[in-house]
Amino acid sequence: MSDKNTGRWFMNKKTIFVFILIFVLFLPDFFSEERDPRVIESGVVLDYFASSMWLDDDRVIFSNLSDKYCHDAATPQNPRESKWRKRQIGIFNTRTREITWHEDLDVYRLICSSNGNSAYLRNKNQCDSSKRELVFGSFGNESAVQDGHWVDSETCQIKPNSFFSTKKIREKEFVQQEKALNNRSVRVVYLKPEDGFLEIQKENGHYPTKIYPPGRENNPINLNVDFFSMWLWLGYEIDFVGYFEYKKAYLIGLEGVPKGSVNGTPTKDGQVWWLFPDGRIEGVISYKRKESWSSVVSGNVFPFKNGLLVYRPYSKNGDGGGSGFYLVGEKQHLSLVDKGVSLSFYNTPRYQRGIISPNGCKFAYGIAPSLSMSSKSQYYLNVFDGCSNR
String of DSSP letters for 36-86:
-TTEEEEEEEEPTT-EEEESSSSEEEEEEEEEEES-GGG--SSTT--TTEE
Q: Does 312 score more than 60 pLDDT?
A: yes
Confidence of residue 3 (pLDDT cuts 50, 70, 90): low
Q: How much is the pLDDT for 51?
A: 85
To the nearest whole percent, how much of the chain has pLDDT over 70? 76
Q: Does 25 score more than 50 pLDDT?
A: no
- In terms of pLDDT, which residue wins out, 345 or 94? 94
Q: How much is the pLDDT for 28?
A: 37
Confidence of residue 183 (pLDDT cuts 50, 70, 90): low
Q: Does 140 score more than 80 pLDDT?
A: no
Q: Which residues contact 33 (CB under 8 A, 6 or more apart)?
A: 336, 339
Smallest CA-to-CA distance from 255 within 216, 214, 202, 307 is with: 202
Q: Which stretch of 11-15, 276-280, 323-327, 341-345 has the lowest confidence by average pLDDT?
A: 11-15
Q: Does 61 score more than 80 pLDDT?
A: yes
Give the chain's mean pLDDT.
78
Smallest CA-to-CA distance from 46 within 3, 96, 110 is with: 110
Q: How much is the pLDDT for 280?
A: 97
Residues 103, 88: contact at Cβ < 8 Å? yes
Q: Does 14 score more than 60 pLDDT?
A: no
Residues 275, 304: contact at Cβ < 8 Å? no
Q: Which stretch of 71-75, 139-143, 267-271, 374-378 has the lowest confidence by average pLDDT?
A: 71-75
Q: How much is the pLDDT for 1?
A: 55
Q: If you average pLDDT over each of 14-23, 135-144, 323-332, which comes out highest?
A: 323-332
Cα–Cα dist 201/371, whole Å: 38
| Average pLDDT, integer, range 276-284 | 96
| Average pLDDT, integer, range 147-173 | 79
Q: How much is the pLDDT for 17?
A: 45
Q: Does 88 score more than 80 pLDDT?
A: yes
Q: Does 33 score more than 70 pLDDT?
A: no
Residues 304, 297: contact at Cβ < 8 Å? no
Q: How much is the pLDDT for 29?
A: 37
Q: Does 58 score more than 50 pLDDT?
A: yes
CA 26, 28, 34: angle at the middle one, nearest 5?
Answer: 110
Cα–Cα dist 299/353, whole Å: 9
Residues 117, 124: contact at Cβ < 8 Å? no
Confidence of residue 66 (pLDDT cuts 50, 70, 90): confident
Q: How much is the pLDDT for 351?
A: 66
Q: Which residues contact 30 (CB under 8 A, 6 or more apart)?
A: none
Q: Which stretch of 173-187, 273-287, 311-325 has the lowest confidence by average pLDDT?
A: 311-325
